[in-house]
Structure 1
Amino acid sequence: MSSRFRHVALIGKYQASGARAQCGAHDDVMEGIGAFLESQGCKVFVEKSQADPVETGPYPALTVEEIGQHCDLGLVVGGDGTMLGIGRQLAPHDVPLIGINRGRLGFITDISLDNYQATLIPMLAGEYEEDLRTLMQAKVIRDGQSVFDTLAMNDVVVNRGATSGMVELRVTVGRHFVANQRADGMIISTPTGSTAYALSAGGPLLHPAVRGWVLVPIAPHTLSNRPLLLPDADEVTMELVGGRDASANFDMQSLATLAIGDQVMVRRSDYRVRFLHPKGWSYFDTLRKKLHWNEGGS
């Protein structure tokens, strides 16, 4: 069974220890996956930013831009954080992604390292489920000018400073004023991010097929402020009207410091991330495993 994917980017954090780390050698896991891909007829590349600066191993190293131009699949080895970072970067190129988890089961890196070969063989031959995930386009507007612009796959979060009190945010959806909300912060989450920070703050789980956002207050001053499900066709704006040392986080991987009057504007991106899963994959299977549903029952 030969692969329908001819050029595959192997993306992940190389891990080495002892003498291997000192000589800059790649770890056995990445080398083993690369050799497996070659055995399936794939030309393997690695991400240049993750490759060792002294020794890149047997595979050519490409920038993310070059991966987007030349590769027809990204195989991400690591955790959900690694997938979030590369997913945002490759979304404009429409490169599909498969995730192999090196640790605990992830929500979006869902293939176990223990049996990845048996799982990948039919997937590389074209037997897979495709899963499209919405991205957010987020901006920070200051004095009418954009001072920060990025993509987010999970969430956009406005937080109070570590030593300050609550923030006050003026929230609007489309052209409609929602409320001035006082809280420790506010989360705007995609369906993908509904299993991340939004879940721990009391938000609902949102199926990836739902075209919506979840607006979740963090420790709100008024207990009647509840999570709100919004259509993702509307732009959501959070304006900082009170509070010190506030910041905006985007997938918890990039940060913008906010001043009074700054607006964090979120809209649906034109890009989506393409995940590939094994045939028969179900979002509900992932929820059961990750959230330990059905455990302890009869």
Structure 2
Amino acid sequence: MPKAGIIYNDVKPIAKRVAIEIKDKLTAFGWEVFLTVGVGGMLGYSNPNSPVCHTPIDGLTPPGFDSEMKFAVVLGGDGTVLAASRLVAPCGIPLLGVNTGHMGFLTEAYLNQLPQAIEKLVAGDYEIEERTMLAVKVFRQDNLLWEALCLNEMTLHREPLTSMCHFEIAIGRHCPIDIAADGIIISTPTGSTAYSLSAGGPVIIPGVPVLQLVPICPHSLASRALVFPNNEPVNIYPVNTPRLVMVVDGNAGCYVLPDDRVYLERSHYPAKFVRLQPHEFFRILREKLGWGLPHIAKPTSVELP
């Protein structure tokens, strides 16, 4: 009996209702279906009384989800897709994102397209696209303190955000660099259209084997976004007191003390996404972010007297 999963945002009533409908439909087709909520991939924020909320990367997979599962349908917005990617990436389960949220940049289909999407899933009529993920780890005196998978970006900054921070950053074998800024972002190509874009970083087409470092409001005109190969590990040494806060994909993080070390590397677990049609990244940029739209109103020629 083939296996499928459903991951939904239980805060949205429509997502919960549709999840049950999909389960009933797939069960009628002879599939074994497992349901879970996306909150399991939310790793939790730190607070002064509990600075570390640590769950191992391989410890988030929900019951019933394993490498034998053909696919999992994700019902929610981009936040649910980000959480779902952490849940199932270690098992290699492809995700079909169905937008019940706002932007839905990471989703593949809308609710009104769901019947046709389910037919294609059952028939195996789809492709699988892989996206780079980061393994983010915090070490204290060489002891692993915290870790998480990251699909979009890792952000490191002071609380509050509008305070200058100083970082020493070593990328691969290259000599360390010093950056003074409100914070820094290490982003994947998938995350290049998220926070790093708002901070002035470039858009990177998925599949390009790079990462990028983006300073947030840097103090120097020379500190700008840097793109580098994704096989280069990154070590970050904060030099601020008393602490910084690190946030991964906008929904998980921990405090980082001056003697801690933040380590990032390309994860050997890629995120896998179901594509029901050939993935056209420029079309998504145009539809979601308005990139490359033609000028509707153009200046008319005016004869001067």
Q: TM-score, normalised by structure 1?
A: 0.84
Alpha-carbon separation, structure 2, partners of 1:278 and 1:174: 37
Instruction: Tell me which of 8, 18, 32 is aligned to 1:29.
Output: 18
Partner-residue secondary structure (3-state), 1:29: helix
Match of 2:44 in 1: none
Q: In structure 2, do the counterparts of structure 1 residues 233 and 16 end up closer, same or farther at CA, with 3 Å as the change threshold? A: closer
Instruction: Report the residue type matching 1:233 in the other structure.
Output: N
Question: More displaced, 179-188 or 112-121?
Answer: 112-121
In the alignment, is the contact (CA less than 8 A) between 1:164 and 1:245 conserved in 2?
no
Give the corresponding residue for 1:205: 203
Letter matched to residue 33 of structure 1: I
**CA contact 1:141–1:264 (8 Å) conserved in 2:** yes
Q: Cα distance, 1:93 vs. partner?
A: 0.9
- Asked if 1:11 is matched to 2:13, the reply is no
- Seen in structure 2, the aligned counterparts of structure 1 residues 284 and 36 have a Cα distance that, compared at 3 Å, is farther
CA contact (8 A) 1:160 1:243 kept: no
Does 2:144 match 1:146? yes
CA distance in 1, matches of 2:87, 2:110: 24
| Residue identity matched to 1:189 | S
Q: What are the within-5 Å matches in structure 2 for residues 134-283 of structure 1?
A: 134-162=132-160, 165-283=163-281
Closer, same or farther: CA 199–144 of 1 in aligned 2, 3 Å: same
What is the aligned-residue identity percentage? Answer: 33
Q: Deviations over 1:229-254 (max 9, x none)?
A: 01011111111013544111111222
Question: 1:164 Cα shift?
Answer: 6.6
Change (3 A) 1:175 1:280: closer
- How far is the alpha carbon of 1:65 from its aligned partner? 4.5
Alignment of 1:94-133 (within 5 A): 94-133=92-131
Listed as ranges, the gaps of 5+ residues in structure 1 are: 18-24, 52-62
1:45-79: per-residue Cα shift (whole Å, max 9, x none)? 2127879xxxxxxxxxxx61531255221111111
Name the CA shift for 1:35/1:50 in 2 (closer, same or farther; >3 Å).
Answer: farther
2:159 maps to a residue whose letter is G
1:193 CA displacement: 1.0
DSSP 3-state at the match of 1:209: coil
Task: Name the amino acid aligned to 1:30.
Answer: A
Quote the Cα distance in structure 2 between the aligned partners of 1:27 and 1:184.
Answer: 39
Alpha-carbon shift at residue 159 of structure 1 (Å): 0.9
Residue 47 of structure 2 aligns with which residue?
none
Preserved contact between residue 164 and residue 243 of structure 1 (Cα < 8 Å): no
Contact 1:238–1:265 at 8 Å: present in 2 too? Answer: yes
Alpha-carbon deviation of 1:27? Answer: 4.2
CA gap of 1:92–1:102, structure 2 versus 1, over 3 A, is same
Distance 1:147 1:177 in 2: 26
- Going from structure 1 to structure 2, the CA distance change for 1:175 and 1:155 (only over 3 Å counts) comes to same
SS in structure 2 at match of 1:114: helix
1:105 deviates by 4.3
C-alpha distance in 2, partners of 1:14/1:230?
38
TM-score by length of 2: 0.83
Task: Give me the whole-angstrom Cα distance separating, in 2, the residues matched to 1:68 and 1:178.
Answer: 40
1:155 deviates by 1.1
> Quick check: 1:129–1:281 contact (8 Å CA) kept in 2?
no
| Equivalent position amino acid for 2:36 in 1 | E
CA contact (8 A) 1:94 1:274 kept: yes
Q: Is the 8 Å Cα contact of residues 15 and 100 (structure 2) preserved in structure 1?
A: no
The structure-2 alpha-carbon separation of the partners of 1:281 and 1:263, relative to structure 1 and needing over 3 Å to count, comes to same
Report the more deviating stretch, 249-258 or 39-48.
Answer: 39-48
